[in-house]
Structure 1
Amino acid sequence: MTEPQRLLDGLPDAHRDGLLALARDREFPADSRLFDEGGPADRFWLIRSGEVALDLYVPGRRPPVVETVGPGQLLGWSWLFPPYRWHLGARTLGPVTAREFPAAEVRALCEAVPELGHELAVRCAAVIAERLQATRLRLLDLYAPDGGDRS
């Protein structure tokens, strides 16, 4: 699945530049745990290269992967909504490069520039809707009594 709109695509230059001024480039080796479900959501990333698996905590089992995020996609949206806790976990599948954004600073910028805040909220909502649908389908595949046959 591809997200309906890249997070920064089409933003006015001033809004895009303001966000990018807060970002820093990061590199993560393969099999790095970026965050765990329930932990503090104090940052988010735009993936530049590589892939990150989003997983779900299931007691007594290895966390099943419910979605994979790759180049150009947003990693993390829980930073936008109180109580700012991750809803899933994330681990790199290989080496990953990304732009990392500090959540509190981005939220402050969004409050100072309401048009930007509205636009980011709408774009993040589109990502959330797609990810929830993907998670639903993946969980049906994993746990449906008929092996996930939806025909």
Structure 2
Amino acid sequence: MASAQNAVDSQLLRELSLFEGLDRLRLEKVAALFTLVDIPVDTELLREGGQADYFYVLLEGRVALSVSIPGRAHYETTVSTLSKGQLVGWSALLPDGVWQASAHTLKPCRLLRVTATAVRDLCEADHEIGYRIMKNALAAVGQRLAGSRLQFLDIFGSRDD
């Protein structure tokens, strides 16, 4: 349960696409799991390949997602930049999830943070919550993948050989 100073109001969740379609009572159940955190600029939130045991929803600021380039030691490239309302660390929604990218703050950020186990347990206990969160998360991940695909086509698909 969140402390009083970091408690999350269910009204805040109503404005976020990840929780779209949830009624007031279910939003209150979900809100009780989250805490508000403020993270300074240039802070690593996630490390690619690490155990995905929590995730964030970005309320303010910007976060860069980057992936390692195989065969290039210590080289990462930014694949996406996230802003208000976006999910950071979606892999945590999967049992035994592993982060698929690293994430670090580009600006000071205010985020909602939750442990993966808490969300997955609630989704299992209330299938309507589970359906809505997974559906909305999948839509967000799909949009992110489509954007990455366009980015890679722009980089690699426009060569005149």
Once the two structures are aligned, what percentage of the paired residues are identical?
A: 34
* Residues 95-110 of structure 1: pairs in structure 2 closer than 5 A: 95-110=108-123
How many Å separate the matches in 2 of 1:33 and 1:140?
28
Tell me the number of residue pairs that the alignment of Structure 1 and Structure 2 aligns: 143
Q: Choose which of 16, 31, 40 in structure 1 pairs with 2:27.
A: 16
Q: Tell me the alpha carbon deviations over residues 89-109 of structure 1, each in whole angstroms, 9 at most, x when there is no partner.
A: 101001011010111011001
* 4+ aligned runs moved over 6 Å, structure 1: none
* Residues 45-124 of structure 1: pairs in structure 2 closer than 5 A: 45-58=56-69, 59-60=72-73, 62-124=75-137
**Cα distance, 1:76 vs. partner?**
1.8
Q: Is the CA contact 1:51–1:70 (under 8 Å) kept in the aligned structure 2?
A: yes
Q: Which residue identity lines up with residue 43 of structure 1 in the other structure?
A: Y
How many Å separate the matches in 1 of 2:155 and 2:73?
15
* Residues 34-49 of structure 1: pairs in structure 2 closer than 5 A: 34-49=45-60
**Cα distance, 1:64 vs. partner?**
1.2
- Structure 1 residues 83 and 145, CA gap change in structure 2 (3 angstroms): farther
Q: Which residue identity lines up with residue 94 of structure 1 in the other structure?
A: K
How many Å separate the matches in 1 of 2:88 and 2:155?
23
**Cα distance, 1:143 vs. partner?**
4.2
How many Å separate the matches in 1 of 2:74 and 2:152?
14
**Cα distance, 1:132 vs. partner?**
0.8
How many Å separate the matches in 1 of 2:155 and 2:44?
22
Q: Tell me the alpha carbon deviations over residues 75-122 of structure 1, each in whole angstroms, 9 at most, x when there is no partner.
A: 121011233100111010010110101110110011110111111111
**Cα distance, 1:61 vs. partner?**
5.8
How many Å separate the matches in 1 of 2:120 and 2:137?
13
Q: Tell me the alpha carbon deviations over residues 34-60 of structure 1, each in whole angstroms, 9 at most, x when there is no partner.
A: 111110111111111000001111123
- Structure 1 residues 25 and 7, CA gap change in structure 2 (3 angstroms): same
Provide the aligned C-alpha RMSD in A.
1.8
TM-score (norm 1): 0.86
Secondary structure in 2 matching 1:78:
helix
Q: Is the CA contact 1:55–1:64 (under 8 Å) kept in the aligned structure 2?
A: yes
Q: Which residue identity lines up with residue 106 of structure 1 in the other structure?
A: V
TM-score (norm 2): 0.81
